[in-house]
């Protein structure tokens, strides 16, 4: 197991989203490191249940949870997303659906869905699923 406390983030590849979510996760969850799993429009991928892409993301998440001991997973959607150019409402739906996909993986983790506004790059919690 790696030293330090890790969290896992499934995020868009958009560079504008990286620093805000890393800072938010470190501060909010007392984490030292964030394993960043990025794909263009990650919330849309997870929400659409694209089996091939979801499998790739899951494999990366398992490295984070099994090798780094991460017990927190955050799925990010953001404004101005070129990889998932849909309405705000559709992003929220994709985030919630994606969180449900993650829940089916039966990991002992807390799952959070967040939105990052492209107006001020602030992180806002959309929903959470805490482990039982």
pLDDT at 2 over 80: no
| Entry pTM | 0.96
Instruction: Give the least confident one: 4-8, 22-26, 50-54, 87-91.
Output: 50-54
Provide the CATH topology of domain 6-129.
Beta-carbonic Anhydrase; Chain A (3.40.1050)
Report residue 47: phi and psi, to 5°: -75, -25
pLDDT in tens, 54-73: 999 999 999 999 999 999 99
Using DSSP bridges, classify how beta strands 72-78 and 6-11 pair: parallel, antiparallel or unpaired: parallel
Q: What is the mean pLDDT of residues 20-42?
A: 98
Q: What burial class does residue 48 get, using C-beta atoms within 10 Å of its C-beta: 0-12 exposed, 13-18 middle, 19+ buried?
A: middle
Q: In what side-by-side order are the strands of the sheet with 33-38?
A: 33-38, 6-11, 72-78, 110-116, 123-129
């Amino acid at each position: 197991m790696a030293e330090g406390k890790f969290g896992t983030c499934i995020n868009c590849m958009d560079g504008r989203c990286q620093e805000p979510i890393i800072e938010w996760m470190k501060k909010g969850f007392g984490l030292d490191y964030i394993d960043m799993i990025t794909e263009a429009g990650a919330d849309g991928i997870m929400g659409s249940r694209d089996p091939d892409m979801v499998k790739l993301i899951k494999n990366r998440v398992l490295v984070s949870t099994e090798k780094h001991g991460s017990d927190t997973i955050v799925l990010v959607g953001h404004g101005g997303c070129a990889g998932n150019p849909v309405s705000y409402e559709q992003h929220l739906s994709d985030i919630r659906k994606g969180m449900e996909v993650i829940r089916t993986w039966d990991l002992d983790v807390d799952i959070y869905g967040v939105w990052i506004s492209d107006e001020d790059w602030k992180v806002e919690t959309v929903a959470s699923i805490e482990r039982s």
